[in-house]
Amino acid sequence: MSLEYVEAVHLVAARIRPGSVLTYGDIAELLGAGGPRQVGSAMAGAADGVPWWRVLRADGTLPAGLHERALPYWQHEGMPLRNGRVRLPAARWQPGVADFAAVDALATDLLRPPAGPEPKRRGDLL
């Protein structure tokens, strides 16, 4: 079962324990594909059910707008905060063996692009 990058990102996000967070860069690294910006882009289309407030920028904040919407969740989950920003050193999620394995599986699936437009063969002459 091949997986779409966006899906993978959402699935990883869903694994983050309440009270913990991951940065965009972390997820990109865990998936071993794309970069922080790709993850951010993916999160933009996150459906309800995806804990988007647990995926932050490297400085423990979220873009304007999302930041305020996230505060209630953070407080409710008892995130280690400091000046309204999540304190990364204390909140960064550390996947257990099971989670790590699952994430690794996702990463592997990503290596099989779904319907990649077949690289067009440039003539048999060249």
Nearer CB in complex with DNA: 33/102: 33
Which 3 state secondary structure label does DSSP give 81? strand
Phi-psi region of 85 (alpha: psi -120 to 50; beta: other; left: phi over 0): beta
Strand ranges in the chain using DSSP code E only, listed in sequence order: 22-23, 55-56, 81-82, 85-86
Nearer CB in complex with DNA: 2/101: 2
- Closest CB 105 distance from DNA, rounded Å: 20
**Interface contacts to DNA, rule CB under 7 A:** 5, 23-25, 33-41, 43-44, 46, 52, 55, 57-59, 62-63, 66, 82-83
Which 3 state secondary structure label does DSSP give 87? coil
- Closest CB 3 distance from DNA, rounded Å: 13
Nearer CB in complex with DNA: 76/101: 76
Nearer CB in complex with DNA: 98/120: 120
- Closest CB 38 distance from DNA, rounded Å: 5
**CA–CA separation, 30 vs 9, rounded Å?**
10
Separate counts of helices (H) and strands (E) for the chain: 6, 4
